[in-house]
């Protein structure tokens, strides 16, 4: 009688490794689904989110509970992120530097589009440039690292004014408005200058100015959000009016917004899910 030979150790090991990898991938999918659902969800909701059977998802949740990554509420039976998950998140947040994350985008924008671009963060005196890149044929502008941008008339400043709900930002904007000359004030809404700018930026998701802050210069600025949904930086591209495509659906705006969104995702930002 012929006997079937048992699988050799060398043949079994790759199969076991594949199984472990698949198990790890499924476990990570369940954990990420729990995070997407706000950090707390029922077994049914989790199973639906990852498109797996509840019994299978439950097995992974049991392992995560044993590891302290997930906790099950005794009352509702819902699952939520545990203490170990919090430690992992805190470690990631400590590395979440908007300047470091967005810096490679400056090089890509400069090389792909040939535009001058920079990153700005909110400082004590207003939006302040912290990184600056320019192409081989730079645009002559009097802004560099350390320059403070106007909250009312620069694309960069309007991003912070429009999307950062902060008392300091409003105070600085009002001070700037009070000190502006009549010609500059005439370019703003007469009845609600700050509110009109805020609504415009919120509707567009970015800010575009043409000959507003600097004559002969156009600029587009996009917000960078942190894990809490707060504006932590602005990514701005600028160029000479006439040679710079400032259209909201133009290639510069599209590329700039894509880079800002990618940086925001790396910082842990998750846009609100549609109801």
Give the pLDDT confidence of 102-120 residue by residue, as tens digits: 999 999 999 999 899 999 9
Across residues 20-45, what is the average pLDDT? 86
Give the pLDDT of residue 157.
Answer: 96
Look up residue 176 and give its two tokens. 């700037």
- Out of 135-139, 158-162, 179-183, 235-239, pick the least confident: 135-139
pLDDT in tens, 181-230: 888 888 888 899 999 999 999 999 999 999 887 788 899 999 999 988 99
Predicted pLDDT of residue 44? 93
CATH architecture, range 22-94:
Orthogonal Bundle (1.10)
pTM (global) more than 0.75:
no
Using 50, 70 and 90 to split pLDDT, how confident is the model at 6? low
Copy the structure tokens of residue 29.
């999918």
On whether the CB atoms of residues 158 and 197 are closer than 8 A, the answer is: yes
Whole-angstrom Cα distance, residue 118 to residue 129? Answer: 7
In tens, the pLDDT along 51-102 reads 999 999 999 999 989 989 899 998 899 999 888 888 777 776 666 578 888 9
Q: Match 């009312």 to its residue by tokens.
A: 152
pLDDT at 17 over 80: no
Which of residues 14 and 101 earns the better pLDDT score?
101
Mean pLDDT of the region 165-185: 90
The CA-atom distances, in angstroms, between 65 and each of 47, 59, 84 are: 17, 10, 10
**CA distance linking residue 184 with residue 218, whole number of Å:** 16
Enumerate the domain spans of the chain.
22-94, 96-267
Residue 140 — pLDDT band, cuts 50, 70, 90?
low
Output Rg (C-alpha) for the chain, integer angstroms: 25
**Has residue 274 got a pLDDT over 60?**
no
Q: What is the CATH number of domain 96-267?
A: 3.30.450.40
220: left (phi over 0), alpha (psi -120 to 50) or beta: beta
């Amino acid at each position: 009688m012929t006997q079937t030979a048992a699988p050799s150790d060398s043949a079994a090991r790759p199969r076991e490794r594949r199984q472990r990898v698949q198990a790890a991938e499924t476990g990570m999918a369940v954990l990420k689904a729990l995070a997407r659902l706000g950090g707390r969800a029922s077994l049914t909701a989790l199973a639906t989110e990852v498109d797996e059977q509840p019994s299978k998802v439950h097995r992974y949740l049991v392992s995560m509970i044993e590891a302290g990554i997930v906790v099950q509420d005794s009352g509702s039976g819902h699952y939520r992120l545990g203490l170990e998950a919090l430690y992992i998140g805190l470690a990631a947040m400590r590395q979440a530097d908007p300047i470091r994350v967005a810096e490679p985008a400056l090089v890509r924008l400069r090389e792909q589009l040939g535009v001058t671009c920079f990153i700005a963060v909110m400082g004590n005196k207003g939006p302040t440039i912290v990184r600056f890149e320019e192409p081989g044929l730079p645009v002559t502008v009097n802004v560099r690292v350390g320059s403070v941008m106007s909250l009312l008339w620069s694309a960069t400043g309007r991003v912070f004014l429009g999307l950062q709900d902060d008392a300091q930002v409003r105070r600085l904007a009002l001070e700037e408005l009070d000190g502006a000359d009549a010609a500059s004030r005439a370019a703003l809404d007469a009845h609600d200058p700050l509110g009109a700018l805020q609504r415009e930026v919120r509707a567009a998701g970015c800010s575009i100015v043409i000959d507003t802050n600097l004559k002969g210069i156009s600029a587009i600025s996009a917000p960078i959000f942190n894990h809490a949904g707060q504006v932590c930086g602005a990514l701005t591209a600028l160029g000479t009016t006439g040679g710079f495509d400032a259209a909201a659906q133009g290639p510069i705006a599209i590329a700039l917004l894509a880079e800002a969104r990618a940086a925001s995702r790396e910082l842990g930002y998750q846009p609100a899910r549609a109801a």
